[in-house]
Amino acid sequence: MSEASGIMNDVRIYDEVIKCTQCNLCILGCPMFMGSRYDHFSPRAIIVGIRDYIKRGGSVDGSLIEVLFMCNLCKNCEVRCPSKIEITKIVMVMKKKIMGLFP
Ligand code: SF4
Ligand code: SF4
């Protein structure tokens, strides 16, 4: 995924999130998880939540909204991710989408 390729739509986001192997190597660098010790607040949970959101046809649920807005975009997960998923970019796009749903 490059900057020049434009705004990520759901198809492009899905292409990214399906690269997640659920290895969970990202979790110990995540301040959301380290602060809560709750698996729901983790990069993997973001990925799984977004995958489900796309499978549902774009309907967001409260738990996805919660974890997206808990993420502080620190990029610690991206450094650890062997699949090189640009999680923070996806989080930012999703936040914009959600804010557009609630004008
Ligand atoms: S960018 Fe978000 S999901 Fe990734 S480690 Fe930081 S807080 Fe966690
Ligand atoms: S490190 Fe990457 S591939 Fe592994 S669980 Fe986290 S987001 Fe998925």
Are the C-beta atoms of 96 and 27 separated by less than 8 Å? no
CA separation for the pair 85, 17 (Å, rounded): 7
pLDDT at 103: 57
With a 6 A CB cut-off, is 87 part of the ligand 1 pocket?
A: yes
Return the domain boundaries, the chain: 8-96
> Of all protein residues, whose CA lies closest to atom 3 belonging to ligand 2?
20
64: nearest Cα among 89, 46, 85, 87: 46
- Which stretch of DSSP H or E encloses residue 97? helix 87-101
> Of all protein residues, whose CA lies closest to atom 8 belonging to ligand 2?
20
CA separation for the pair 25, 81 (Å, rounded): 7
* Class at the top of the CATH hierarchy for domain 8-96: mainly alpha
With a 6 A CB cut-off, is 73 part of the ligand 1 pocket?
A: yes
**Mean pLDDT in order along the chain per 10 residues (103 residues):** 56 92 95 95 96 88 95 97 96 90 65
With a 6 A CB cut-off, is 89 part of the ligand 1 pocket?
A: no
pTM across the whole model = 0.88
Q: Which amino acid is at 3?
A: E
For residue 30, which atom of ligand 1 is closest to its CA? 5
CA separation for the pair 10, 63 (Å, rounded): 19
> Of all protein residues, whose CA lies closest to atom 8 belonging to ligand 1?
30
CA separation for the pair 38, 59 (Å, rounded): 24
pLDDT at 101: 73
